[in-house]
């Protein structure tokens, strides 16, 4: 098994010395440290799970190369209340991809109680084993970390890289960092959160030596931020928030799931904590959302318009639906902005069997007139534009005329002018995602906010739309008591 590339900086030893804990950090770290009896229970369950997987694979006759429990459960970096066992069932690379899921699910089904099929790159099972929640994920046992066949094939290399480098103190730092990110609402790489993955948090603590080291480094970061050694950088999306090469595969950006919004919230939170350190960053008080009447009062003050796309739950797991909700928000925004609305915000959620996507615009109705721009005067298309609009029927409301920039233009009558009418007319052309599109009724499903305020999903999305504040500004509850899991 080969890492496939020299690790090089920034992963060279020796590690930076840890920044000493503040008293409140030491208190939080102790509260988050798993008790010895839980550590022992997890160890025994891990060993039993791997042993059972190996035995059952032999009985099934499937080409399992390795069963491995990896991730935070294997490294003791899990948070209380977020302890899952991640079981990776790694098969011979010669097994065809279409049979990988079949063999992996069949094997996992013999190991887990109450299994439920879920999806990521391919199906996996979530179930229970000896009182622990388990995700059983099939993959391939590859020889090089930089040549994976599926995304999970790097997992053994991640485990081999992190385990020998993490000290007991560093594990405290990782848990503290995860709790800090959780208090800001940016811990978790799932699409709903678009935050820091567990692996990313562990790499950052490793690189900067401690929780305090990561926060100190963040004081000089901006969006986007590159943390790359000299040489070629990993491939990254244009809107990437953070670029950090995977030490076992430098061509991969570890932080690809992190959105710019979540990264910016972290940077602001790190600076706020640096200026005013307090226990709430590790033990935030519960905060109730504003009552509905307060939200409606804000909306009246804004004098804006909110339109709702309301659909029945397509019946897919959240990992499938949340990307489509994000896509639907973008589709509504881009459509309305292209037509001349100012979109003030979007929000979406899934609750009580319904999906709600909200879009807030500066007004509910556009003016009757729109400007249709033409070519700059003097270019080849000028005669065609003049011929098209000089004798048009119906004639333009104004023009053809020349703008201050030297371009031709005409003023035209708008077609549909109201948000509801516009969205209703293009509902089946919107890029909503296949499952949301399939749930769209023939007549569309757009409503004014006032008609659907009784729907739980709508009220939840309205909170996300109108109560979007920095997390520490929402900590208005009573001071937290003793730190607890």
From CA 186, how far away is CA 216, in angstroms rounded? 18
Tokens of 360: 């807030």
Q: What are phi and psi of 368, to 5 degrees?
A: -70, -10
Closest CA to 347 of 296, 291, 309: 309
Q: Given this model, what pLDDT does residue 246 score?
A: 93
Tokens of 162: 């992190």
Q: For the residues 260-279, what does the mean pLDDT come to? A: 96
- What is the pLDDT confidence band of residue 478, given thresholds at 50, 70 and 90? low
- Which listed CATH number (3.40.50.2000, 3.30.70.100, 2.40.100.10, 3.30.70.590) goes with 292-365+416-466? 3.30.70.590
Distance of CA 390 to the CA centre of its chain: 51
Task: Work out the end-to-end distance of the chain between its first and last CA atoms, rounded to an integer number of angstroms.
Answer: 38
Q: Given this model, what pLDDT does residue 444 score?
A: 73
The 10s digit of each residue's pLDDT in 186-211 is 999 988 899 999 999 999 999 999 99
pLDDT of 83 strictly over 80:
yes
**The domains spanning 17-33+166-289 and 292-365+416-466 adopt the same CATH topology:** no
Tokens of 135: 């995700």
Place of tokens 């409301």: 397
The 10s digit of each residue's pLDDT in 88-101 is 999 999 999 889 99
CATH topology of domain 34-163: Beta Polymerase; domain 2 (3.30.460)
pLDDT of 3 strictly over 80:
no
Q: Tell me how crowded residue 446 is: count the other CB atoms within 10 A of its CB.
A: 21
Q: For the residues 371-386, what does the mean pLDDT come to? A: 94
Task: Give the residue extent of every domain in the chain.
Answer: 17-33+166-289, 34-163, 292-365+416-466, 369-413
From CA 365, how far away is CA 327, in angstroms rounded? 24
Q: Residue 257 to residues 107, 363, 459, 480: CA-CA distances in angstroms?
A: 29, 34, 27, 32
pLDDT of 281 strictly over 90:
yes
Closest CA to 247 of 10, 2, 1: 10
Q: Given this model, what pLDDT does residue 485 score?
A: 44
State which H helix or E strand residue 354 sits in: strand 354-361
State which H helix or E strand residue 31 sits in: helix 23-32
SS3 content of the chain, % helix, strand, coil (to 5): 40, 20, 40
- What is the pLDDT confidence band of residue 5, given thresholds at 50, 70 and 90? very low
Place of tokens 């959780």: 182
Place of tokens 């997390």: 471
Q: What are phi and psi of 478, to 5 degrees?
A: -65, 155
Establish how many alpha carbons lie within 13 A of residue 25's alpha carbon, considering only the half-sphere containing its beta carbon. Answer: 20
**Homologous superfamily in CATH for domain 17-33+166-289:** CCA tRNA nucleotidyltransferase, domain 2 (1.10.1410.30)
Rg (CA), the chain: 27
Average model confidence (pLDDT) across the chain = 91
Q: Which residues of 447-472 are buried (b: 16+ CB within 10 A; e: fewer)?
A: bebeebeebebbbbbbebbbeeeebb
Q: For the residues 298-315, what does the mean pLDDT come to? A: 95
- 3 state SS of 3: coil
Closest CA to 99 of 131, 122, 119: 122
Q: Given this model, what pLDDT does residue 98 score?
A: 86
- Largest Cα separation within the chain, whole Å, is 86
Angle at CA of residue 82, ends 197 and 150, nearest 5°? 45
Q: Residue 342 to residues 86, 153, 172, 446, 464: CA-CA distances in angstroms?
A: 45, 45, 47, 18, 19
Q: Tell me how crowded residue 340 is: count the other CB atoms within 10 A of its CB.
A: 15
Q: Given this model, what pLDDT does residue 15 score?
A: 78
Q: What is the pTM of this model?
A: 0.89
Q: Given this model, what pLDDT does residue 10 score?
A: 61
- What is the pLDDT confidence band of residue 4, given thresholds at 50, 70 and 90? very low
More confident residue, 483 or 407: 407
State which H helix or E strand residue 135 sits in: strand 132-140
Place of tokens 């757009």: 446
User: Mean pLDDT lowest for which of 159-163, 403-407, 428-432?
Assistant: 428-432
The 10s digit of each residue's pLDDT in 118-159 is 876 678 999 999 999 999 999 999 999 989 999 899 999 999
Proportion of the chain above pLDDT 70, given as a percent:
95
Q: Given this model, what pLDDT does residue 482 score?
A: 53
Q: For the residues 444-452, what does the mean pLDDT come to? A: 92
Q: Tell me how crowded residue 190 is: count the other CB atoms within 10 A of its CB.
A: 14
Q: Given this model, what pLDDT does residue 6 score?
A: 44
């Amino acid at each position: 098994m080969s890492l496939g590339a020299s690790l090089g900086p920034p992963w060279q030893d020796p590690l930076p010395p840890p920044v000493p804990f503040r008293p409140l950090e030491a208190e939080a770290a102790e509260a988050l440290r798993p008790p010895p009896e839980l550590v022992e229970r997890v160890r025994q369950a891990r060993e039993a799970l791997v042993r059972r997987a190996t035995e059952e694979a032999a009985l099934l006759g499937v080409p399992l190369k390795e069963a491995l429990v990896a991730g935070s459960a294997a490294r003791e970096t899990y948070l209380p209340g977020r302890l899952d066992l991640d079981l990776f069932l790694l098969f011979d690379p010669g097994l065809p991809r279409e049979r990988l899921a079949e063999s992996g699910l069949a094997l996992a089904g013999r190991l887990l109680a109450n299994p439920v099929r879920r999806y990521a790159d391919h199906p996996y099972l979530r179930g229970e084993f000896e009182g622990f929640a388990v995700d059983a994920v099939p993959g391939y046992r590859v020889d090089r970390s930089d040549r994976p066949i599926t995304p999970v094939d790097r997992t053994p290399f991640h485990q081999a890289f992190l385990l020998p480098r993490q000290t007991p103190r560093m594990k405290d730092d990782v848990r503290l960092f995860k709790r800090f990110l959780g208090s800001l609402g940016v811990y978790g790489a799932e699409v709903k959160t678009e935050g820091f993955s567990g692996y990313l948090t562990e790499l950052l603590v490793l690189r900067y030596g401690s929780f305090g080291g990561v926060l100190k480094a963040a004081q000089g970061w901006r969006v986007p931020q590159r943390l790359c050694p000299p040489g070629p950088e990993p491939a990254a999306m244009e809107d990437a928030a953070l670029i950090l090469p995977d030490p076992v595969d430098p061509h991969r950006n570890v932080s690809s799931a992190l959105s710019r919004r979540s990264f910016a919230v972290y940077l602001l939170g790190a600076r706020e904590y640096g200026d005013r350190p307090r226990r709430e960053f590790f033990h935030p008080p519960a905060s109730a959302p504003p009552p509905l009447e307060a939200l409606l009062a804000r909306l009246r003050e804004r004098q804006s318009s909110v339109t709702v796309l309301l659909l029945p739950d397509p019946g897919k797991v959240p990992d499938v639906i949340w990307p489509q909700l994000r896509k639907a928000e973008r589709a509504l925004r881009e459509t309305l902005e292209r037509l001349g609305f100012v979109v003030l915000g979007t929000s979406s959620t899934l609750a009580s069997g319904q999906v709600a996507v909200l879009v807030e615009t500066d007004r509910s109705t556009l003016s009757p007139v729109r400007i249709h721009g033409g070519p700059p005067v003097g270019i080849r298309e000028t005669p065609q534009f003049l011929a098209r609009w000089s004798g048009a029927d119906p004639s333009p409301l104004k023009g053809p005329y020349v703008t201050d920039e030297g371009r031709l233009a005409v003023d035209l009558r708008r077609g549909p002018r109201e948000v509801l009418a516009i969205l209703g007319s293009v509902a089946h052309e919107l890029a909503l995602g296949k499952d949301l599109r399939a749930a769209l009724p023939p007549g569309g499903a757009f409503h004014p906010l006032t008609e659907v305020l009784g729907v739980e999903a709508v009220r939840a999305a309205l909170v996300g739309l109108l109560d979007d504040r920095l997390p520490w500004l929402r900590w208005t509850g009573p001071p937290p008591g003793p730190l607890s899991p």
